[in-house]
Structure formats: C-alpha cells, structure tokens
A and B are shown apart, each in its own frame.
Chain A
Amino acid sequence: MPIKDEDIITITPAPMSTSEAVYFPSIIKGFGTTLRHFFTSFGQGHTSRTIQYPEQRREHYTPEQGGMEKSNFRGVHRLNRDGAGRVKCVACMMCPTICPANCIHIEAAESPWDDREKYPAKFEIDELRCIFCGMCEEACPVDAIELTPLYDVVGESRQEMVYDKNKLLHVYDITIDQKPM
C-alpha cells in the first residue's frame, strides 16, 4: 500500500526551553523520580518487582501478579503417551523438519503395534540447541510432542542435556498433573 501524502506528518523537534537548556531543573526532576523509586521499593516495598527464586517461584503466582501461566509456558519438551502408555509419536518427521534450530533427531522404525506404521526407535532433542519456539508442538499432527512448564532443568555435561526418548517420556510422567494433555 503506497503511503498517501496526507498521511505524512512532518515533525520538527522543538528546541529546548530555557529550563531544559540549563539542565538543572530537569536533573532535579530526575532525582525526584529515582528517589521515589528508591523509597517505595526499599526492602521489597510495593514497587519492588523481584521474586525471590528459588524460595518463591513464578508458578506460585498468577500472571497478573507477575507469575507464569502453566498452560502455555514453553519449557522443556515431553513426549506424550497414549491411553495404553505407549509413545504417541508416529515418527512422521514433521517436527525435525520445522525445527528452526535443527535439534530434533529421530530414527524411525517399523511399529511393533498394529494401529500405526512407524514409531520412533530413537528420539533425541538437544535441549541446549533448542530455542523453545514451540514450532514442533504446533507441527505435530498427533499432539505427541509438547512443551511443559518445567524450566529449571540442569545437567553436568552437554551429553546429559540431549534428552532421549526415555527421558522425554519421563518428563511426561512428571508433568502430566501440572499440564493435562
């Protein structure tokens, strides 16, 4: 859409007024602002925005209080199980295709079950490369991969942070209460 001439507003910045040009009135106003914040937030007063992690966590608060919304938080992944407790994934390769960080590695194999053709023999997500964009979750046709509210995952080596199928299924087991499918 071309920009119409009448939509263009020419803005000439105003020159400083005398009080601005000698700086000091504005500086004193600035002191007022900083000191107000200093005294209102002193000792975690009412303007203080800090949550004392790890004693307090964002999960304990509602989004209005600055907490987090579990249902759409994008934390570490999980692989969902179906009703029979089997991995739900059908190894369709949608998620490794869409993943912008190229961090999902799947080896598909013929499914041992009758209701589908393929299943992932190996399923690895490199959580260190992942940017937690949630595209894999959106791409999955069978809702097998999901991001969970878990965010404080740690590991002592890089290898440990490459989550394999068992680990991802384990994440499902521990987060299913917090975030139902």
Chain B
Amino acid sequence: MIENLLNMIDGQFIVSALVLAIGVHAVLGLVAYGVYLERKISAYIQDRIGPNRVGLDFGLTFLGFLKGCLALGQPLADGIKFFVKEDFAPKNVDKVLFTLAPVFAVVPALIGFVIIPWGGYWSMPLINLPLLGQIGGETVAVSGADVHVGIIYLLAVASIGVYGVTLGGWASNNKYSMLGGLRATAQMISYEIPLGLSLLATLLILGSFMPNEIIEYQVQHGWMILSMPLAGLLFYTCGLAEANRAPFDNAEAEQELVGGFHTEYSSMRFALYFLAEYAHLVTGCAFFVLLFLGGYHLPMIGITDPASTGLLAVFVKIGVFATKVVLMVCFAMVVRWTLPRMRYDQVMMLGWQAMIPAGMLILVVTSIMVYLGQTTLVPMLGANFVMLVVLLIAQHVFAKLYGRSTANRRIKLYGSRFSPMDGERVITGPTNQLAREDRPVQGSVPTI
C-alpha cells in the first residue's frame, strides 16, 4: 500500500505539488495586491492619489525606511480588518447556504489555476531523496497538471463560479440579493455561448486542448491575437462578463441593487466573495494570455522558446507569463474605470443580438479557413477583415430595418453654462458690479 503510494511520487508529482503550493499563495497575494492596484489605478484615473499611508514599517523604528508613501501595507491592513470585523448574518437567512455560498464562489476561482502552464517544461535532473530514492531525470511540466483536457477543465471550473453568486443571493433572503444572483445567472448563461464560440474557433486552429501544445503552436505560427483579433476581442469581452467585471458587473450594481448578491455579507464571508471576484479576473486573464498572447513566449528571446528547458528558462518563462497576466489585469482595471456599467437589458441585448451572431460568424469563417487549410497569419487576417466588413454591413442593414437607438449627446440649452445655444454667452457670476465687489475673494468669481 505504502509502496504503491511512494511509487506514485515521481518528478512530475513533486513539481506539480510545488507549483500548486506556491501558485495558490502567489495568486492570493496577487488578488490582495490586485485590490491595491485597482485602488491606485482608479485613483490616478480620477486625478486622486489613492492609498498612500499604510507602509510596511509596522510602527517599528528600525523598519522606518519602509514607511513609504506607496501604502504597500494596505492589503495587509484590509485583510486584518476583514478578520476582526463582526461576522453578521441577518435573522432569516438560510444559514447553511449562507455559509456555503462564498466557498462555492471561491473554490472554483482558485482551482482553475491548476492547468495554467506557467513555465513550460523542465528537464529535471536526477535527484536522490531519502525514502523515495532517485527521482527526476525526465521532462516535467511546470504546472499543476499537464492534462490533455486542460481547456475544457478550465471552462468547466470557471462556470461553476456563478453558483456561489446565485446561492449567496438566494440564501440572503433579500430581494436585492436575489435579483443580483438571478442577473448573474442569466448573464452567465448568455455570455457562456459567445465565449464558447470564440474559443471553439480558436481551438479549431490550435488543434489541441492541451495548454502546453497551444503555446507551442503559437510559438511556431505567431500569437493567436495576430491571426484572430476578432475572436480575441470577443473572448476578452465575454471573459469580463463571466468574471462579473465592469462594465458587466450587473450582479452587484450598487445604484440599483444596493450591493447585489453580497448585500447581506460582511466580514470574512464578504472578503471571500471579493477574493473570488479577483481570482476569477486573474484566471480569466491567464486564460486569455494562454490562448491569445502566446503564454510564456516572447518573440526573439530564445530562452522563452519551448525548446529551452533549463531551470533558468523555467523561471524566465514564469516571469514572462506572470507579467503578461498582470498587464492584462491592469487593462481590465482601466476598462472598469473607463466604461460605465451597462443597463441590464443592454447587457442581454449585446449578448444575444451582437456577441452570439458575431461568434457564430467567426466560427463559420474559421471552419471554412481550416477546411481550406489556410490557417497561417496572412489568410487569417484577410478572413478577419472580411468578417469585420460583414459585421459592419449587417449592423448597417439592421439599423436601416429596425432603426438605431438615439445617441446620448449634449443638447444645447438656453442658459446652460456647459452647452449654451449658438451665439449665447452664459455668465454665471453675479453681473452686478456691486455684488462682485462685495465678494471678499477675487477667485470665487469665475472669469468670464
């Protein structure tokens, strides 16, 4: 029995265990600092500064040099705050589900990482370990699991995440939470389809479900974002919707639903939801990097080729992969602070009337290209261009048939300071000279 177990432990097992043990914590750290990053980015976008007080000096004088204005201790402080806050559950909630729901949200978000091929392959040298004897001497994958169904697994796991949201909304016994949960479900169902369609089109060309093979294909034939930009765009947008990120964060629309599905949650349970949301974002971005941005590969840099399998190469690859993921996360944050949240019916309309037809078109055109055997960069770019033209024409035709919705433009108004009528000059300060002089401060009268 024990012999069998010990025999199971080979080089791959140990590397996988190491990657998982480090990876989960790295991701958790990335999530904590993702919140920090989001606060900083949003602050700078809105001409503010963001957190800048909590350094890492912990009040100790010999660590005084860490008392930075970067506030790198903020995530720690937030975490401690979540732990020591009162864990409040309202009276009529479904206690079991109420406790389980955040777990349902966080577990799928965290186990998705397993198949991300952070460092490609490593030719493991022979190592002598006590009890286990000699291990290694083979090529091992630097990822949690090097499985052939990697992509399918990731898709499956990612879509379980919505159970947490829906159950949380249901268990809270609160109409706002309930609505938030329902919205999340409907949105998930709608956006799963275009996500799947664009993914399918990409996989038709990639020809494999195995993460490492996907990257190897891209190393040989160029990154997929170059040959399938439309599918990439569709995939990224749907990924945002799947992760409940703005502009599709209707499940927690503060203006309409108080807090949506997590209205009734507080303390660590709320923190779990928060964590799940960011973990989803990170998984989504890692997925995108894997499929479209060549994973750990950088063009022109030999050490990031799948062929180099030394220890240094593995670390460089991990660094490249992580940097790409962080950049994509930053991009998602800029998206969040640029685009306003869409109205719920608009989200659904976008999903069913725009995304799904576009996804089908992409799938059909890609299938034809695969049938013709023309899947290299230039023909695919041509095909993408054709698709774009077809989509634009279709858009135009449907607009002619059904009419377009009106644009929200600035309307000229009498007496408006911001968009006055033509030739009108609106003066907002007091016009009476006496009143102006009566004002003690010169600067409080706007210059006219």
CB of B411 within 8 A of CB of A38, answer: no
CB of B49 within 8 A of CB of A27, answer: no
**What residues of chain B lie closer than 8 Å to A69, measured between beta carbons?**
440-441, 444
CB of A38 within 8 A of CB of B404, answer: no
**What residues of chain B lie closer than 8 Å to A14, measured between beta carbons?**
406-407, 409
CB contacts under 8 Å to A, within B354-406, are 391-392, 395-396, 399, 403-406
CB of A34 within 8 A of CB of B440, answer: no
Least CB distance, B348 to chain A, in whole angstroms: 16
Number of A-B contacts (CB under 8 A): 78
With A22-B395, A63-B443 known as contacts, the answer to whether A47 contacts B47 (CB < 8 A) is yes
B405's partner among A15, A35, A38, A52 (CB-CB below 8 A) is: A15
16 pairs, CB–CB < 8 Å, chain A vs chain B: A14-B409, A18-B392, A20-B407, A22-B391, A22-B392, A27-B338, A30-B338, A34-B45, A37-B47, A38-B41, A38-B45, A41-B44, A48-B47, A69-B444, A71-B440, A72-B441
Query: What is the interface residue range for chain A against chain B?
Result: 20 to 34
CB of B41 within 8 A of CB of A31, answer: no
Q: How far apart sit A47 and B399, CA to CA, in the bound complex (Å)?
A: 41
Interface 1/0s, chain A 11-36, versus B by CB < 8 A?
A: 10111111011100001001101110
Interface residues on chain B, number (Cβ under 8 Å):
28
Known contacts A21-B395, A22-B395, A37-B45; can you find 7 more A-B pairs with CB under 8 A? A14-B406, A30-B339, A37-B44, A38-B41, A41-B48, A42-B44, A49-B47
Interface 1/0s, chain B 169-197, versus A by CB < 8 A?
A: 00000000000000000000000000000
Residues of A at the B interface (CB closer than 8 Å) are: 11, 13-18, 20-22, 27, 30-31, 33-35, 37-38, 41-42, 44, 47-50, 52, 62-64, 69, 71-72
User: What is the predominant secondary structure among interface residues of chain B facing chain A?
Assistant: loop
**What residues of chain A lie closer than 8 Å to B396, measured between beta carbons?**
18
**What residues of chain B lie closer than 8 Å to A71, measured between beta carbons?**
440-441
B338's partner among A11, A33, A41, A49 (CB-CB below 8 A) is: A33
CB contacts under 8 Å to A, within B391-448, are 391-392, 395-396, 399, 403-409, 411, 440-441, 443-444
CB of A49 within 8 A of CB of B48, answer: yes
Does B7 belong to the interface (CB within 8 Å)?
A: no
Q: How far apart sit A27 and B395, CA to CA, in the bound complex (Å)?
A: 18
**What residues of chain B lie closer than 8 Å to A34, measured between beta carbons?**
45, 334, 337-338
**A24 nearest CB neighbor, chain B only:** B233
CB of A15 within 8 A of CB of B443, answer: no
**A46 nearest CB neighbor, chain B only:** B47
Does B128 belong to the interface (CB within 8 Å)?
A: no
CB of A50 within 8 A of CB of B46, answer: no
**What residues of chain A lie closer than 8 Å to B46, measured between beta carbons?**
37
B406's partner among A15, A42, A44, A62 (CB-CB below 8 A) is: A15
CB of A21 within 8 A of CB of B44, answer: no
CB of B441 within 8 A of CB of A63, answer: yes
CB of B407 within 8 A of CB of A31, answer: no
Q: How far apart sit A63 and B337, CA to CA, in the bound complex (Å)?
A: 30
**What residues of chain A lie closer than 8 Å to B48, measured between beta carbons?**
41, 48-50
